[in-house]
Structure 1
């Protein structure tokens, strides 16, 4: 077992260094920049390879105090042994480190990570009493999947924020409507007001003119079709007389 562990660590070291020579002047400059910015961020996500969670450690964070502000994210967990990931989570918990396993190519997994991060941010805001936008630093050595994870977080996160804005806009527009939807003229007025308000939520340029409404309508229909607006049944039960 000891020999296997040593061999695994050596393979991990080779995999993370990519054959050596990766720590050049640009990496030294990046390390200095990271050191300067670390005190300014609210959360630090240290990305590691779930197959080599020890060998892929970012050494600059080795002496970083374990706290609720640091999260070890074990990426590529779909390529690792799941039972071993559980063992590593227990290990990090014993070291007073928060850890999380993720597959950066799985949308549902990314959504779960986003919800986890939002919960951490809310907890930080509650305990530290701040109301500004939280700053999160994503950090890690080469080849652990930082770019893939960052892109997935951005893509899924942006969509979630847009859906939230769309829901809020629809609610506010309908709540402030003083007409009668049973009247054709009033219903048309409500639809016009909703499309106009949603243009900003969907970030559709005003310069498009009438085409802007078509784009807004298409985006709204897409959200409904894919179920991201919520669970709605549009047809009413027919009343039998």
Structure 2
């Protein structure tokens, strides 16, 4: 994927995003993040165990590098959340990688009680050695924005209420699709004898990100607000990843009938917003909506397949890759039925395409590469 690496340095303007210490003001690190980082470091001293939530699609890129020295000194369980959006064929390699590094790791879906119960079993096992010594134990949940910490906290509450008598009314953690929803550190009692408290914390990023690709992965996963990086720029990176991996060519085998032109009958003037695919939307899609979204996804996959399979250039060359991505923006505009003369067509394409990716409609992905682990001699 050398073409992608070069693209990040030179092509498409992706290399001037100031994801580095000398690149100017870092607008995604507001005052509450700085204050929260200080508070988290202070409370880490009191924590008996830390659940570090990471995005399963970016197991390394979603780690807060500034907190790692503090976390490595604590009992810790790494929870790779959103496993339902991550490639299951690679997920086991990541859990094995963490195990090889002597780090407890559990792949979870924070919205699944059975999945969260497995995580709690590991947490309880890790706390066994201190339960007999301390009447009160503190578990801290940390992670960068939008990895699903609050969703995990809410699931833990539901499980705890079914297991233990709860004396006080518990407040649910705020959950939202935007980074930075949780702005205070709140404690919740989840068990008695011993008393176990879970602290939810706001998502915090490092003030600067030295690696441009790490910054783009965080933006793609939604840990950095889209307005900071720009939706079009994020989609340029996503298309570069898909093309250099040859992903659209695999869609041909998955969707032969649809890509070859056999489509479901869909209402021509169907009104449905892709925003409704995002979590916590009140209006659930009906059968007609589902058919509409499925048809839209197939049109998008077919557009990217056709553009890549007919492309005569070299995706490992940054100039060729840039040309291909420009062609694909036009193809996506047609597939997503965005008016040709729309003044903000590329922005509209980017927003819809990002929604399909982030909700898993384009398939499961893991963007980070599993590091090579040297065998212990």
Compute the TM-score of the two structures, normalised by the length of structure 2. 0.37
For 2:151, the equivalent position in structure 1 comes to 148
For 1:34, the equivalent position in structure 2 comes to 40
- CA separation in 2, counterparts of 1:115 and 1:7? 44
8 Å contact 1:74–1:102 — kept in the other structure? Answer: yes
Q: Deviations over 1:161-203 (max 9, x none)?
A: 249xxxxxxxxxxxxxxxxxxxxxxxxxxxxxxxxxxxxxxxx
> CA 1:151 to 1:7, structure 2 compared with 1: closer, same or farther past 3 Å?
farther
8 Å contact 1:58–1:140 — kept in the other structure? Answer: yes
Bigger CA drift: 61-70 or 24-33?
61-70
For 2:366, the equivalent position in structure 1 comes to none
1:148 CA drift (Å) = 0.5
1:21 CA drift (Å) = 3.0
1:132 CA drift (Å) = 1.7
78, 81, 101: which is aligned to 2:87?
81
The answer to whether structure 1 residue 130 and structure 2 residue 172 are counterparts is no
Q: Deviations over 1:200-238 (max 9, x none)?
A: xxxxxxxxxxxxxxxxxxxxxxxxxxxxxxxxxxxxxxx
For 1:98, the equivalent position in structure 2 comes to 104
Gaps of 5+ in 1: 14-19, 164-241
For 1:113, the equivalent position in structure 2 comes to 119
Compute the TM-score of the two structures, normalised by the length of structure 1. 0.56
1:45 CA drift (Å) = 0.9
Who wins on radius of gyration, i.e. which is larger?
A: 1
8 Å contact 1:66–1:96 — kept in the other structure? Answer: no
> CA 1:39 to 1:5, structure 2 compared with 1: closer, same or farther past 3 Å?
farther
> CA 1:23 to 1:69, structure 2 compared with 1: closer, same or farther past 3 Å?
same
1:66 CA drift (Å) = 3.4
Gaps of 5+ in 2: 9-13, 18-25, 167-377
